[in-house]
Amino acid sequence: MPEKHQSFEIKKSDYVEITFNDIISFFKKYYIVLAFVTFVSTSLGYAGSFLMTKMYHSETILLPEQGPTSGGGFLASLAGLGGVSAIEKIGAVRTDLYPNVMKSMPFALFMLKQPVKDINNKDYKSLEEYFSEKPKTSFFGLFPASPAVIAPPIPKLPNNEILTLSILEEQKAKSILGLISTNIDQKTGIITIESETNDPIVAAMAVSAASKYLLNYVEDYRTGKTAREVVFLGKRMSEAKQREMRAEYALQSYRDRNRNAFLNVARIEEQRLQSDYTLAQSLYADLARKYEQAAVKVKEDQPIFKVLEPAKVSLQTSKPRRLLVALSSGFIGFIISLAYILIKKPKTEIAN
């Protein structure tokens, strides 16, 4: 029993009780070292921020239309009963899906083909060419500087709806998707499209191209079906017009040849030609009416976006944030120096 009690006393002595006064004493003892390391880390971080690539930010703010669609109050009331907000109208793209549209692969391929101009007034045929000539566009590089892995060629598929991309093309597309960000305010419906690159003009042109893509996408979604109907009715109307003209010519030609005809057979033929002409007239008039209605509906269904803040060229850098980099470096240096003291110094010395 005495041996067990002695063993317990030895284990208990291994623990050092630390009070608040001990912590104060510790920092008083090592504050010079901690302050020096923190100052050096802060200075190095601030100096290192000048080695980072300058980044420029550009954004555009859009306000979509609000209120009922051309379908009238009935559709609007149905939307309200179904829990659909005014900006998420029937037949329209839900606004909360806009960021998904701007993260799609077709959008990335569209952006890669957009022509741009840098701050030195040099024109580039596409964003892909710009980033290929300047691979290190940020601190980490937008595109990989190393050559792409050689992969076997991808066979061309007969279905145009299937995308076939090489490894390098897919890498560039994913990098472009990280270049553009889209945010939606669910309460107001305000859309903010942002871009950040190492060139202020490229950033502004990228934002402008991205906003145009979104507007065209929403417009095509809203009016695509009706627009195709307009094209179809236009072709049918042209055919109906030709048919009407042929029927009229046939009727008038027959009347010219048979002015003094008194035979019933001749009258029957004239009545048949007259019926064909009347039918052709009626068909053309009906198609023309539907064509005009569809054309008006296309105009009514076109989405309206008000540009609250256009994309602009900002010569003020958005990154690096030198003060934040310096403070972060100083904090990291402080933590590392504190950990070093706690690990390397004997416990008894720290306690004393």
- 320 to 49, 69, 73, 136, 324: CA distances (angstroms): 6, 45, 51, 15, 8
- Residue 85 · residue 187 · CB < 8 Å: no
The DSSP secondary-structure symbol of 68 reads: -
87 Cβ contact list (under 8 Å, min separation 6):
64, 65, 66, 95, 189
Per-residue pLDDT of the chain (352 residues; tens, 9 = 90+): 444 444 444 444 455 566 767 677 777 777 787 888 888 888 887 777 777 777 888 888 888 876 544 444 433 443 444 444 444 444 456 777 788 888 888 898 898 898 888 888 888 898 888 888 765 444 334 444 444 445 555 666 666 667 777 788 888 888 888 888 888 888 888 888 898 888 888 888 999 999 999 988 888 888 888 888 889 999 999 999 999 999 889 888 888 887 766 666 667 888 888 888 899 999 999 999 999 988 888 888 888 788 888 888 887 776 777 788 778 888 888 888 888 877 876 554 554 5
16 Cβ contact list (under 8 Å, min separation 6):
347, 348, 351
For residues 192 and 211, give the distance between their C-alpha atoms in angstroms, rounded to a whole number. 9
Tens-digit pLDDT profile for residues 139-193: 334 444 444 445 555 666 666 667 777 788 888 888 888 888 888 888 888 888 8
- 340 to 21, 32, 334: CA distances (angstroms): 21, 14, 10
- Residue 248 · residue 305 · CB < 8 Å: no
The H or E element containing residue 121 is none
For residues 80 and 38, give the distance between their C-alpha atoms in angstroms, rounded to a whole number. 59
DSSP 198-261: SSHHHHHHHHHHHHHHHHHHHHHHHHHHHHHHHHHHHHHHHHHHHHHHHHHHHHHHHHHHTTT-
CB count in 10 Å sphere of residue 321:
14
Cis before 320 (ω within 30): yes
Angle between helices 200-257 and 105-112 (to 10 degrees): 100
Would you list the domain boundaries of the chain?
A: 20-51+321-351, 55-319
Please give the structure tokens belonging to residue 306. 């008000």
The DSSP secondary-structure symbol of 119 reads: T
